[in-house]
Amino acid sequence: MQAIILAAGVGTRMLPLTSTKPKPMLPIATKPILEHIINATKKAGVKDIVIVQDRGKYIEKYFGSGEKLGVKIKYVVQEQKLGTAHAISICEPHIKSENFLVVNGDNFVRVDVLSNLVRKHKGDATITLLEVLDKELMGTLSTVKIEKDRITKIVEKPKPHEILSPYASIGTYAFSKYLFDAIRKIGKSPRGEYELPTAMQLLLDEGKKMYFVKTQYWQHISYPWDLLTANKMFLDEAKAKFRGGEIEKNVTIKGKLILGKNSVIKSGAYIEGPVMIGDNCTIGPNCFLRAYTCLGDNVRVGNGVEIKNSIVMNGAHIPHLSYVGDSIIGENVNFGAGAILTNFRLDGQNVKVQIKDKVVDSGLRKLGAIVGDNVKFGSNVVVNPGKKIGANSFIWPGRVITEDVPDNSEVK
Could you list the active site residues? 320
C-alpha distances out from residue 88 to 37, 82, 286, Å: 17, 11, 52
φ, ψ for residue 58 (rounded to 5)? -60, -45
> Which of 136, 157, 155 is CA-nearest to residue 200?
155
Rounded to an integer, what distance in angstroms lies between the CA atom of residue 250 and that of residue 113? Answer: 42
Three-state SS at 82 = coil
Between CA 326 and CA 35, with CA 369 as vertex, the angle to 5 degrees is 70
Q: H/E element holding 27?
A: strand 27-28
> Which of 58, 53, 98, 93 is CA-nearest to residue 76?
53
Rounded to an integer, what distance in angstroms lies between the CA atom of residue 15 and that of residue 352? Answer: 15
Q: Partners of 144 in the beta sheet? A: 154
By DSSP bridging, strand 382-383 and strand 400-401 are parallel
> Which of 262, 299, 273 is CA-nearest to residue 284?
299
- Residues sharing a CB contact under 8 Å with residue 347, sequence separation 6 or more, in sequence order: none
> Which of 89, 71, 88, 1 is CA-nearest to residue 34?
71
Rounded to an integer, what distance in angstroms lies between the CA atom of residue 283 and that of residue 281? Answer: 6
Rounded to an integer, what distance in angstroms lies between the CA atom of residue 217 and that of residue 232? Answer: 13
| Strands, sheet with 270-272, edge to edge from the N-terminal-most edge strand | 252-254, 270-272, 288-289, 306-308, 323-325, 340-341, 382-383, 400-401
